[in-house]
Each structure stands twice: as C-alpha cells, then as structure tokens.
Structure 1
Amino acid sequence: MTAGTCPACGAAAPEPFHVGEPVPVNSCLLLGDRDAAVDFPKGALALALCPACGLIWNCRYDPELMTYSQDYEETQGFSPTFQAFIHHLAADWVERYSLGGGTVVEIGCGKGEFLVELARAGIGSGIGIDPGVQPARIPAGLPLTWIQGLFPQDLPDLRADAIVCRHTLEHIAPVREFLAAIRSAITEPERTVLLFEVPDVRRVLDEVAFWDVYYEHSSYFSAGSVGRLFRAAGFDVLAIERAYSDQTLLVEARPAVGGVATAAIPIEEDPAELAEAAARFARGHQAMVDHWRDRIRTVHAGGGRTVIWGGGSKGVAFLAALGADSRLVDGVVDINPFKQNQYMAGTGHRVLAPKDLTDAEPALVIVMNGAYRTEIGAELTDLGLTPTVEAL
C-alpha cells in the first residue's frame, strides 16, 4: 500500500471529499494541565472515499502522532445505558456462538468491561490486550488475563473460540493488513469466530455528524465497505447489523475455508450509494457547524450558560469545530470520575462532575451522544435542574 491507494483494496485514491481544520491527535487523552491541553498537538483531517470498495479514511493520517497508554480514558462503562447494552451483547454472542466454557481473545479491550461481561455470561477464559488496560480497575476473581500491549507484537498467536474486537478497527490505518494478520494468527480456524463492532459511517454522513469525525479514527466503515474488507482478508461474513441507536455495526465472521468467500448480504450498500451520502455530508458540513454555533451564541447573548455533556471524542470534535465560539461553552460534563477535573485537548475545558452543574445552572445542555439523553435527563432532574436539553 502507498499513500495514494486505498488501505482496504489498493485502488487508486480519489481527492478527499472533506477537508477539515486540524484537530487534536488524541481526544480521549485528558490532561491535568490546562496549558498543555490547549497546546495539544494537532493533525490534518482529510476524508477520502474509495470508489471501488467504499472505505473512507483520513488520507493525511500520521500514526506517529498517536499515543495510546494507560492515560487513555475511552471507557463508557460508567453509563447504565452502555452497561445494559454490553451485558445484552455479551450474553447474545455467548449463546449464539456456544462460547460457554470457551476461550475468547479481545483485541483492543480498553478498560476490560466487555470481557468482564463475557466472563459473567459464561466463557471459560479470556485474554484482553490493549495498551490502555488497567487491571487494577477490573473486578478480580474472573478467569481473565490482561496484556498491556498491542496485537500482534505482544500476542502473536490467537488460539481461541472467538476473537472479539470492538471499537478498535477504526483506529487502524492499514485495515486489510491488520485483518490479514488476525487471519494468519488464528491457530485453529475451524473453531474460531470473529465478533467485531465499529462505528457506522453511513449514519455520520446522513446526519452530517461532524462530531463523529476525529483524528483517532483513521478508518470509517459502512456495512458495505466492512463486508468487502472482511471477505478480501479471507473471512466469511456471517452477519452485519446495526446496534446502539444505529450508531454502530456488529460484524460476525469466520475464516473462509477453501478460499471461497460468501456473497454480500442485503445490508451492504454499494460504493456509489455511499459516495452520494459523502457528497451530502460535504455540502451540509458548514451549515451544521453554523447551526450549533448560532444556537450557542443565542444562549450566550441572552445571558444563559451552555454546557456539553460528554468529555470524550465527540466532545473534543464538537468543540474543535466551533473554533473561537468554543469559548462560549461554559463547561463540559462527564460521569466518568477519571475524567473529572482533567482538561480537554484542544480547548482546555475542565471536565465537571454532574453535581457541579448546581452552581453553573446551565440554560442549555447539549448531549454529545443521543443514546444517553434519557439517563442524562433523569440525572438533571435529580439535581433539581431544568435546562433545555438537546442531543446531537
């Protein structure tokens, strides 16, 4: 692969359909010093769409700028909504793929919450690998092993009944090379199933969700592009379905036997259809950014305060897109205690706990992820606050 070819299929790369302003290279790496947060390194953002396979990728992505460590605070595990989702998903996968008593490897396990759910659902043993894993934060007494490292460098063989990889593939630039490495590392392909979850770029394009475009995500997948990628890397695609308020794609696959991959499934769109959605995103991007700028300016002009709820990647991307108007956002709220009193990369906003809003008394709360709107509304009610709540 070269810089001028698609990382999934090798086709010649077209011109980017969207070029954004430079953005912080890490959006889940919170800092204890505000000046360091404001001066955090930025990277270029230019999205290209492969006309042959439909992969969207940041063609100006530089992996040398990335830092993944135990300071990377990506977990959504403090949300009851999120916990309910992963509890159901783990139980479903264990039942449907007969993983009870089996072995699971999770590549990119984050803070380990999903592998914990798989253990509680009945797997016999699990291995989680991630540069950011913190075993001290994970419940003890479960048949789980943690590796603070990367695949394949620190785990060259994958001997398991299932390979789980959730919200990691989009962080990989050479996506086909990565999947091919997984295929080569599987020691017993007849027994192994792959269970992946990635963000659905089709929703991002259709909703002009500029807050879901950020530097860590070097690759963006639709149902069609992810299906074609898995088949090209030597896997049979068993199922692709949307999940989590249609924000993500669940991909289930097995190593292909005999070199014959399965055909496309109905959910997979063709690249031309995705190209139309990308063009709409490009046309509507500035108008969507201006909408939120105007909304925040109106509240400020009326003497009210605006806060955003969500101190993760969406929040960093949202504030970065606002430019100078980000100063009109009076606070960032997050329920994750490990984020609180840290500073957001790029703008230096301090992350508040929900209880801090009783002093701020915001007029407008902008929810960074609509999946959490109900639980956030309930928390605001418990605090005795009645702001206008709007979700992206």
Structure 2
Amino acid sequence: MSARTCPACFGAALTEFYAVDRVPASSCLMLDDETAALAFPAGELRIAACADCGFVTNTAFDPALTRYSDAYEESQACSARFRDYAAELTASWVDRYDLVGKTVVELGCGKGEFLTGLIRAGVGYGIGVDPAVRLDRIDPAILHRTSWVTGLFPDDFETIEADAVVCRHTLEHIGPVGAWLRSVRAAIGPRTDTVVLFELPDVLRVLREGAFWDVYYEHCSYFSPGSLEGLFRRSGFEPIELRRTYDDQYLVIEARPVAGTWPMVGAVEPAAPGDRDEVLAAARQFVSQVERSRTQWRERVRKVAEDGGRVVLWGASSKAVGFLATLGDDARHVAAAVDINPHKQNRYLAGTGHRVVGPVELIDIAPELVIAMNPAYTEEIARDLETMRIPTALEAL
C-alpha cells in the first residue's frame, strides 16, 4: 500500500494539509538523562485527510521509529478526575454488556489499570496485551484472575476467545488501521456475541481548536465519529453506539461482529460520506488556527520570561511533548514539566529534554505561570496549587 492510499478505506484521495519537519518520535517514553532526551530520534508530520471517508493520517509515519516498552509511561491513573471517569466507564460496560464473571481481552492495555478496574467491577478474567505491561504494578490480589502478554496484537496474540474486546487509546497508534481492525474481526472468529469496546481521541475537536499539541508522531491515525463508524462497518462490525466522552475529547464506539468470514476477499466497499465534509472543512482551517494558537502561546511564555518569571507545564504527557516541539525556540522559556505520576518524575521529555518534576518542587521553582496541558484537570490542578500555597496564574490549553 502506498503512502498516498488511505489506510482506513483504501481509497486514493489523501490530501496533505499540515506539516512539521521534526518532532520527537515518542512522547510517553521517559528518558533517564537530558542528553538522551535531546538526542532522541525525530520524525516528520505530514498530516493528510481522505476526501473519500474523512480519515486523517500521518503519511510520513515510520513505525520503526516508535518504541513501546516498560519505560513507556502513558498512565493517567494518578489523577482522581481520570480515575473517576475510568471507574464510570468500566461500571457502565460491565453492566450494559453483562460482563460479570466473563472474560475480557484488552488490546493495548498499557500498565493494566483499566483491565484491573474491569475485574474489580465484576469481570471474571482479564487478558492484557501490551509491550509496556509491568507485572510489578498489577494488584497481587487479582493477579490470579489475569494473564498478560508482553507484546503486540496480532503478532504475539493471534486468537481472541472472549466475551468482550477492549481497546482504549491504541487504534490511533496504528498505521494500517483498516488491515488491523479486520485482523481483530478475524481473530474473534465465528462468534457474533463478543462485544467490541474502543475509545480514542476525536479529531474534529483537534482540528476545530487548532490543537497542535494533540498532533504528535505516535498518533498516526485520527478519527471523527463518521470515519470511525465507517471503518468498523467495513471491517465486519455492527456499531451499537458511538458517543463523545470526557469533556467531548474522546470517542467511544461499542460494536458487535457481523456474521461471516473476515477479512473477506476483496471486501473494499466505497466509503460512506458520514461527517467527511465537516472534517475536510476543519482541515482547511487547521493551519491558520494553529498559527493563531501557537503565536498566542509563544508570546505568552516569552512575556513571562522577559519579566523575569518562570513558566511550567502541568502534565508531562504527549500534549506537553507536542506543545514544546511546536513552540520551537520559545520552548526554552519553559522551566519544567510537572506531573503527579511518580514514575515520570526526575526523568526527561523526549526532544526538548525538559525535566519532569513533582508538584512539591513548584514551591522552589515559584512559577509565574502554570499551563495545564488538559483543561479537564484544571480544577484538580488549582486545588493542588492552593494546598501548596503557590501563588501563580493557571491557564489551560
């Protein structure tokens, strides 16, 4: 398949609309020293939209540049706000799809927090698949009700025998999404009662907001509701429900396999338009939106620095790496990135080499401005700053 062929609908109507020449090839891999972080491999962004189905992809993505290992620290579970959301989602899925006592496979399970949460909510047995699994971080009390595959689907886990397949914030990391989702359908086999539960970012929000911090190398595939639903239908699944969650940042799709043998030979159906026109219109405005937003933030951090103040980012995540990479020279005005996840602290962000600090270090840093990388956490951050008696401006992306 050529780089100009849509990985979702296999059409030949990709049009590039946004480019960045150098971005870190990983945004959640924590580095142990600044030198290694600064020398981390870089890739290109060549973001294109499909005029047939509305799917958005990085045509310059090279999977050989990405690294997924136990040093990959994607967990959001240290946030009470996120834990509450995850608990609500697990409870709803267990209840809605009668998963009490059943078996669930999670593809791209990360450190396993969500899968263990499903078990606490009533799931009988969980199988997690991810190269970043850390068994030492799994609750020993439920370890006997789990098994873990330190690898990738389908290379290291070929057959899915389960009542539910969960896949959260993984599909956007996969380049050949059409072929990959068909492999999920094929691995399920003749069962049509297995529920398939996916969650991933909504590209329409990213495009409309000019959220350049949400476009980074590891995310090579971007979906709108329409392109996601179309992909599932073409891959042998019947969507049950598709909705936005988490302050409209995420898409959740729930589906079941349709009868038949998948992947079917020659099963390349024309893409339905869905919300394609909305995506294409937002893509046309994206660069100008990015320029306005980037200029605003460059001027903001530069002004604080010129006045002798310090700027820190709260959230040493993919958004922080994307934000710093796109700020260019003005990234030097950011003193550090703060994160409540202890596994990130005293380590360094790929590309710019910013050190990750714990919240308590802000007492000594005394920032004039804290930039929240995700507005969903603004209230939580504000409470922490108040508790530590740190007088600072707090603004969100």
With the shorter chain as reference, the TM-score category is over 0.9
**1:352 has 2:357 as partner:** yes
Separation in structure 2 between the aligned mates of residue 107 and residue 144 of structure 1, nearest angstrom: 14
Q: Distance in 2 between matches of 1:55 and 1:74?
A: 24
CA contact (8 A) 2:15 2:50 kept: no
Partner of 1:255: 257
Q: How many residues matched?
A: 385
Find the counterpart in structure 2 of residue 30 from structure 1. 30
Q: TM-score, normalised by structure 1?
A: 0.96
Query: 1:140 offset after TM fit, Å?
Result: 1.2
SS at structure 2 position matched to 1:348: coil
**Which residue does 2:156 correspond to in 1?**
154
> Equivalent residue for 1:263?
none
| CA RMSD in angstroms, aligned pairs only | 1.3
Is residue 316 of structure 1 aligned with residue 303 of structure 2?
Answer: no
Structure 2: how far apart are the matches of 1:15 and 1:9? Answer: 14
The equivalent of 1:234 in structure 2 is 236
Aligned counterpart, 2:293: 288
Q: Which amino acid aligns with 1:109?
A: C
Q: Which amino acid aligns with 2:35?
A: D
- 2-structure distance, mates of 1:190, 1:141: 32
Measured against aligned partners, the alpha-carbon deviations of 1:277-325 in whole angstroms (never above 9, x if no partner) come to 1111122211211110000011111111111001110000000011111
- The alpha-carbon deviation at position 258 of structure 1 amounts to 5.6
Matches within 5 A, 1:293-308: 293-308=298-313
1:73-88 to 2 correspondences below 5 Å: 73-88=73-88
Paired residue for 1:19? 19
Aligned to 2:343: 338
Is 2:205 aligned against 1:203?
yes
Residue identity matched to 1:349: H
Percentage of matched positions with identical amino acids: 52
Contact 2:192–2:258 under 8 Å retained in 1: no
In structure 1, what is the equivalent of residue 39 of structure 2? 39
Structure 1 counterpart of 2:176: 174
Deviates more, 1:187-196 or 1:288-297: 187-196
- Which among 358, 375, 381 is matched to residue 380 of structure 2? 375
Q: Where do 4+ consecutive residues of structure 1 move more than 6 Å?
A: none
Structure 1 spans left out of the alignment, 5+ residues: 260-267
How far did 1:119 drift?
0.2
3-state SS of the aligned residue for 1:17? strand
**Matching of residue 243 in structure 1 with residue 256 in structure 2:** no
Measure, in 1, the Cα distance between the counterparts of 2:14 and 2:156: 35
SS of residue matched to 1:141: helix
Counterpart AA for 2:288: R
Show CA shifts across 1:187-222 (max 9, x none): 452220100001001110111100000000010011
Alpha-carbon spacing, 1:388–1:198, altered in 2? closer, same or farther (3 Å)? same
Q: CA deviation at 1:269?
A: 4.4
SS at match of 1:390: strand
TM-score, normalised by the number of residues in structure 2: 0.95
C-alpha change, 1:372 and 1:44, in structure 2 (3 Å) is: same
Q: Which runs of 5+ in 2 are unaligned?
A: 262-272
Alignment partner, residue 122 of structure 2: 122
The one-letter code matched in structure 2 to 1:295 is R
